[in-house]
Structure formats: C-alpha cells, structure tokens
Amino acid sequence: MCLENTQIEIEDLRARLEKEINISKSLHNDLDLSRKLVLERDEQLNDLTTKLRAAELKCQQTEDHLSRTSTDLALERARCDELTLSLQESETLLTQTRSDCLSYALENQRLVEEAREANQQIVSYRAKLEAQGADLIATKKALRALQREKGSPKKIYTEDNYVRSESFLISCGQITVALRAQQHFDFVL
C-alpha cells in the first residue's frame, strides 16, 4: 500500500509538474508575445518620434516662411502705399495740366477771334484806303485841271479837298496800326 501511495503521489507530482511545465511554456509564449509586442510598440514609437520631428521641422519651416511672407507683405503694402501716393500726385498734376490746357485753349480762341476781327478791320481799312486813294487821285486830277485852266502854278486847296486828304492820312495811320497789330497776332499764333 505504501507503494501504491507512493505511485499515486508520483503521478500526482507528475501531473503537477506537467501543469507547471505547461504553465511555464504558456508563460514563455506569453513573454515572447509580449516581447514582440513591446518591440513593435518601440518601432511604432520610433516611427512616430521620427514623424513628430519631421512635423516639428516642417512647422518651423512654415513659421519661418510665414514670417518672411509677412515681411514681404509689409514691404509690398508700403510699396503699394507709395504707388498710390504717386498716382494721386500724378492725377493732381494731370488735372492741373488739363485745366491749364483748357485755359490756354480759351485764351488761344480769344486771340484767334481778335486776330480775325483785326484782319476784318484791315480788309475794311484797305478798302477805305483804296476808295480814298481813288478819291485823292481824282481830286488831284481835278486840281491840276483847275490849275491848268487858271494858268496858276499854285496848288489850290479847297476845304473839301483838305478834309479828304486829312481823312486819307488818318485812314493810313489806322491801317498802319492795324497792320502792326496783325503782325503781332501772327507772331503770337
């Protein structure tokens, strides 16, 4: 009986030992699986760390680019303000130039009108001068004829002849003034 008890104990110990071996194998398998999982997690962590560094670098580059862009934008705004001011000055100058051109055009138109009137007066004075010249020639002929008839070498001035010759001289003076005015206007134009 002792032997039987011993065999039962041995079998019992074997069963326990097998259980322990199975548990140990299971624990070793679990440990290997956990190690693999830890290694995978380490790899993932390394990948994520690398990606984080790359993202931080990209973020820094983006911030630098944004800073440069902001500086460029400020410079462009300043340049735009300068151009706007220059444009306003040019528009003011253009408005002033247009105003000056308009006043010069009006002045030119006035001077052209005065020149036309002066030309008309000159034509009128020339016509009067020609008419008075013809009258003077006729008067001189009449005077000469009278002088011949009377046989007197003296010049005979009647009041009418004197008035006509004085009127002729006044007309000549007016025509001279008008001709000088026309020359002045021709020079100005």
Residues 10-35: pLDDT tens digits?
888 899 999 999 999 999 999 999 99
What confidence score (pLDDT) does residue 183 get?
59
Cβ atoms < 10 Å from Cβ of 181: 17
Q: pLDDT over 90 for what percent of the chain?
A: 56
What confidence category does residue 137 fall into, taking pLDDT thresholds of 50, 70 and 90? confident
CA angle 134, 135, 141 (to 5 degrees): 90
Average per-residue pLDDT for the chain: 84
- Our measurement of the distance from residue 27's CA atom to the centroid of its chain's CA atoms, rounded to an integer in Å, reads 85
pLDDT higher at 129 or 49: 49
Q: Please count the other Cβ atoms lying within 10 Å of the Cβ belonging to residue 172.
A: 15
pLDDT at 188: 46
The pLDDT tens digits of the residues spanning 80-113 come to 999 999 999 999 999 999 999 999 999 999 999 9
pLDDT at 156: 47
Q: With 90 as the cut, is the pLDDT of residue 52 above it? A: yes
